[in-house]
């Protein structure tokens, strides 16, 4: 598995393969334009002095893959904007991803995982640990490592960061449920599959905004998680459709996304913040705000507090709220 991963990484970065060659002092003297990896390492990265020393000693060049790892380390220990359960934090929470997993995973899947765990525990697995075959450890080890790494991360922005772990978890859960001998198997497994299908289809076509029924569904998602868990700018085209259906030619908008709105025909005007009283009083337009910004992530809790006090007249998907700000 490690060799396959290494091959894929080398293939992706094939144009930069020559940068894997150590840069000797003689090479650097002849080619002063050579960039070294240590030049990308900042003091806020843990063990920065050691990493810089190793990079210098080994002559490691600024390979883009290695620079990406350094950038990730820098981002992890920098000040970040994180949101969970209505609270904001610059350092995150160790339980962020466990909560995200619990509310963004379908209930039937959670039930299957819990059932598989129970089937293992009921037979005193610790006594038979030595008899467990290697293939089970192949599934368990990545899950354990990923769980520890994710709970130690300070970049708490999305369930998408857990996606690599799901494949191991699904295979492990399915193997346990199918191989174990337990009562009601022929009844429970079809029920779990049916429940999973129903909950998955029920969110169509707003998959990004999915929250399971135990969390209150996507309409309550903003009270738990924001950013790519709920709102990643995915409803821009639906906003365009809404504007056309209501014969609205321009809208005061605060949009969370990278879509070029003018490209899809949306003419957006500035939507004032809470403290911009004069601009707010002068408004005479329809207003729209992405839920990530409405709740205050990245812009501050007070930025659109004035809109949170008002009742929206409509909602685009689960990510954009519409307000009537016209002077009647």
Q: For residue range 4-29, what is the model confidence (pLDDT) as tens digits?
A: 989 999 999 999 999 999 988 888 88
pLDDT (0 to 100) of residue 135 = 85
Average pLDDT over residues 132-159: 89
Predicted confidence (pLDDT) at residue 124 exceeds the cutoff of 80: no
Residue 131's pLDDT band (cuts 50, 70, 90): low
- Nearest-angstrom CA–CA distance, 83 and 90: 9
Contact 261, 236 (CB under 8 A): yes
Mean pLDDT of the chain: 91
Higher pLDDT among residues 75 and 232, named by residue: 232
pLDDT tens digits, residue range 47-104?
788 888 889 889 999 999 999 988 888 888 888 899 999 999 988 999 999 999 999 9
Rg (CA), the chain: 25
Q: Which pTM does this prediction carry?
A: 0.85
Residue 254's pLDDT band (cuts 50, 70, 90): very high
For residue 41, CA distances in Å to 62, 71, 113, 118 come to 10, 8, 41, 46
The residue among 110, 314, 96, 315 whose CA lies nearest residue 226 is 96
pLDDT tens digits, residue range 206-215?
999 999 999 9
Contact 152, 94 (CB under 8 A): yes
Predicted confidence (pLDDT) at residue 125 exceeds the cutoff of 80: no
CA atoms lying within 13 Å on the CB side of residue 172: 24
- Of all residues in the chain, what percent carry a pLDDT higher than 90? 71
Taking the C-alpha atoms of 55, 56, 58 and 63 in order, what is their torsion angle to the nearest 10 degrees?
Answer: 50
Predicted confidence (pLDDT) at residue 123 exceeds the cutoff of 80: no
CA atoms lying within 13 Å on the CB side of residue 280: 12
pLDDT (0 to 100) of residue 189 = 94
Predicted confidence (pLDDT) at residue 153 exceeds the cutoff of 70: yes
* Token pair listed for 270: 């500035």
Between helix 163-179 and helix 134-152 the angle, nearest 10°, is 140
pLDDT (0 to 100) of residue 73 = 85
Contact 251, 259 (CB under 8 A): no
- Nearest-angstrom CA–CA distance, 97 and 103: 10
pLDDT (0 to 100) of residue 208 = 95
SS3 content of the chain, % helix, strand, coil (to 5): 55, 10, 35
Residue 126's pLDDT band (cuts 50, 70, 90): low
pLDDT (0 to 100) of residue 288 = 97
Contact 225, 297 (CB under 8 A): no
The residue among 127, 137, 142 whose CA lies nearest residue 175 is 137
Contact 37, 60 (CB under 8 A): yes
């Amino acid at each position: 598995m490690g060799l396959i991963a290494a091959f894929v990484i080398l293939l992706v970065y094939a144009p930069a393969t020559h940068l894997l060659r150590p840069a000797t002092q003689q090479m650097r003297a002849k080619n002063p334009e050579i960039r070294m990896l240590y030049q990308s390492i900042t003091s806020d990265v843990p063990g920065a002095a050691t990493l810089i020393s190793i990079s210098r000693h080994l002559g490691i060049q600024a390979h883009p893959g290695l620079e990406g790892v350094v950038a990730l380390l820098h981002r992890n220990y920098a000040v970040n904007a994180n949101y969970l359960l209505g609270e904001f934090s610059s350092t995150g929470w160790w339980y962020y991803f466990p909560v995200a997993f619990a509310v963004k995973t379908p209930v039937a899947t959670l039930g299957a995982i819990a059932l598989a765990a129970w089937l293992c525990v009921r037979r005193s697995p610790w006594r038979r640990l030595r008899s467990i075959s290697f293939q089970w450890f192949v599934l368990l080890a990545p899950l354990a490592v990923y769980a520890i790494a994710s709970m130690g991360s300070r970049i708490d922005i999305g369930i998408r960061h857990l996606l690599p772990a799901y494949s191991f978890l699904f295979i492990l859960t399915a193997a346990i449920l199918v191989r174990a001998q337990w009562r009601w198997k022929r009844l429970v497994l079809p029920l779990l599959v049916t429940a999973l299908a129903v909950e998955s289809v029920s969110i169509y076509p707003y998959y990004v905004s999915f929250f399971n029924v135990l969390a209150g569904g996507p309409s309550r998602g903003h009270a738990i998680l924001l950013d790519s868990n709920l709102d990643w700018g995915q409803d821009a085209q639906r906003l365009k459709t809404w504007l056309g259906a209501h014969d609205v030619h321009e809208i005061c908008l605060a949009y969370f996304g990278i879509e070029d709105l003018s490209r899809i025909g949306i003419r957006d005007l500035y939507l004032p913040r809470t403290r911009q009283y004069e601009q707010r009083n002068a408004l005479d337009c329809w207003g729209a705000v992405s839920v990530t910004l409405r709740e205050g992530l990245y812009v501050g809790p007070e930025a659109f507090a004035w809109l949170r006090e008002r009742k929206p007249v409509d909602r685009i998907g689960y990510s954009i709220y519409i307000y009537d700000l016209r002077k009647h």
